[in-house]
Amino acid sequence: MFAIIGILIVFGAVIGGFLMEKGHLAVLVQPAELLILVGAAIGTLLVANPMHIIKGVAGGLMGVLKGSPFGKARYLSTLKMMYQFLNKVRKEGLLSVEMDVEKPKESSIFKSYPDFLADHHARDFVCDTLRMAITGGVEPFDMDQMMELDMEVHHHEATQPVSALNTVADALPGLGIVAAVLGVVITMGSLGGPPEQIGEKVAAALVGTFLGILLCYGVAGPLSSNMAKTADSHNEYLHVLRVLLLSFLKGAAPMIAIEMGRRAIPAHLRPSFDEMEKSCKGGGVAAEAAAA
């Protein structure tokens, strides 16, 4: 939502300032220049990247417009889910969650958390780790190495669309110059005609450069930066799951493992201990002690 507001502010400020200086808005409407610029930018994206990265760019842009899903509510929901899951493991053993791990969409616990199930990276991250724990014979250190490797691979994949969009943003000013040069070529062919006609063609040529710079620094660049932050947010989310799971695999009680995960949440999103405890079980530490 804020991305849309930001883009509107960029265009509103630029066009507003232009109108304040008695500029004619119709001069900026140059479909041919826009076609050259946008068409060449899309072509550049297609030439430089395989299909899965292009799909990643499209998905990343949609994600930016929707906003980051990793807020305090998502973290509280995840901590509650993992508390329920780890409590089941503590009471009934690892084999009791084998079917939950093998078929998470049919799990009585996971089904209550559609946001987690929809995030296939996080879902597979948790299930694959627990699957190895159920199999046995893997030391916590080795499990941590596997989780770290998984995170590195995912983060590299998530940042590839960001790099692709950054490349397009860097190309836009140059493509704007291409559009401007073509406009100058057309203008040179009109020399000797009425001054008004030559002036219109020069203005059209300059609009190409203007659009290239504006779309680079006002749209494509900020969008790629936002996509990078979204990728970082997902990596931070996976890191919380990694810390939580590793703590439990080392033998910590479920609430201790959940608290370890809470401490790994970024400070501006981290719920308080009371918020976490109320969300997870509602009865506090005393209730857990009584239940034990």
Mean pLDDT over all residues of the chain? 89
What pLDDT is attached to residue 135?
Answer: 87
Average pLDDT over residues 24-29: 86
* pLDDT of amino acid 41: 94
HSE-CB for 43 with a 13 A CA cutoff: 7
Q: For tokens 């704007």, name the residue.
A: 176
Structure tokens at 270: 């981290």
pTM (2 d.p.): 0.86
The predicted pLDDT at position 269 comes to: 94
Phi-psi label, residue 155: left if phi above 0, alpha if psi -120 to 50, beta otherwise: alpha
Assess whether pLDDT exceeds 80 at residue 192: no
Residue 80 in this model has a pLDDT that exceeds 90: yes
Note the pLDDT of residue 65: 84
pLDDT of residue 292: 39
Quick one: pLDDT band at residue 291, thresholds 50, 70, 90? Answer: very low
Q: pLDDT at position 203, please?
A: 84
- Distance of CA 235 to CAs 70, 101, 126, 154, 217, Å? 10, 21, 14, 8, 26
The answer to whether residue 220 scores a pLDDT higher than 70 is yes
Task: Give the chain's end-to-end CA distance (angstroms, integer).
Answer: 46
Range with the lowest mean pLDDT among 6-10, 156-160, 167-171, 277-281? Answer: 277-281
